[in-house]
Amino acid sequence: MHVVLLGAMGQLGQRVEESTPPGVKLSAFSSAVCDLSNPASLRRILDKAKPDLVINCAAYTQVDKAESEPERAYAVNRDGVAALVAGTSPLTRILHVSTDFVFDGAARTPYATDAPVNPLGVYGASKLAGEEILLAQAPERSCIVRTAWLYAAEGKNFLNTMLHLMQSRPELRVVSDQRGTPTSAQGLAEVLWRFAAQPELTGRYHWTDRGEATWYDFACAIGERALHHGLLERRIPIHPITTAEYPTPAARPAYSVLDKHKTYAALGFHGEDWQSALDAVLALKRLRPSS
């Protein structure tokens, strides 16, 4: 199987490339080389590669910045997906990563894949538009995997932001009224390869690590486990605050836990709880002190 990976230099794309299964020929392209908002460049690469599958980890993901530059967000997350559909053979499968931000957070039980969508901001709306293009224009060959609260040992994410702040500040204040599920990029990468191996799977699926937490819970766990792994020298106080006390340009869903039972049934795989996944990532950071 020949697979083209888009967004190869992102935190998820790197994990996908690192976990490529035996027997798979992978052609990995960063957004600098293959920009979804440049259809001509995308088509040239796809015409040359002629892949059996495209794994699309490329996206505009700057949630707050999207509010001030919606054209850029839609150019990548909507129009780029349309260009991907147009630039691939009718025989090429598309495995596309989407987000919990398609929901408004008004629910109090985990969101099923067919739950009503209502994005609160430009980022979520642009990602939803990309989903709708795939299901309208290439439903028989598209598989969409929504995820949430993604992090890795490297890159710009909540984990690394918290570790930096815990090393440089005497105390932290972290939002405690937004609930979701921290998700290791490594775990998601492995699940994407499981989807890649089952070409009959189409439509929408959800994947995160197991369990749920608030950002405050996640921060406290990071502090505790990082101390255990020798990544921090001291424990600092972490205080819970409300979303209203930490305003951002883009609204966040207050609740975005995703129901994964459809994925469990399709893959026969449940993954691990978010605390165990966090421990594994921190252990990796201990082995890679420069990350």
Give the active site residues: 123
- Bridge partners of residue 29, in order along the sequence: 6
**Chain center to CA of 131:** 14
**CB hemisphere CA count around 209 (13 angstroms):** 24
The three state secondary structure string of 155-210 is CCCHHHHHHHHHHHCCCEEEECCCEECCEEHHHHHHHHHHHHCCCCCCEEEECCCE
What would the two tokens of residue 267 be?
Answer: 């893959």
What are the phi and psi torsion angles at 21 (to 5°)?
-70, 155
Q: Which amino acid is at 110?
A: P
How many residues does this entry show for the chain? 291
Euclidean distance between CA atoms 147 and 12, whole angstroms: 11
Indicate the SS3 state at residue 141: helix
Spell out the alpha helix ranges (H) of the chain: 11-18, 39-49, 70-77, 79-87, 122-137, 158-168, 185-196, 215-228, 261-267, 274-287
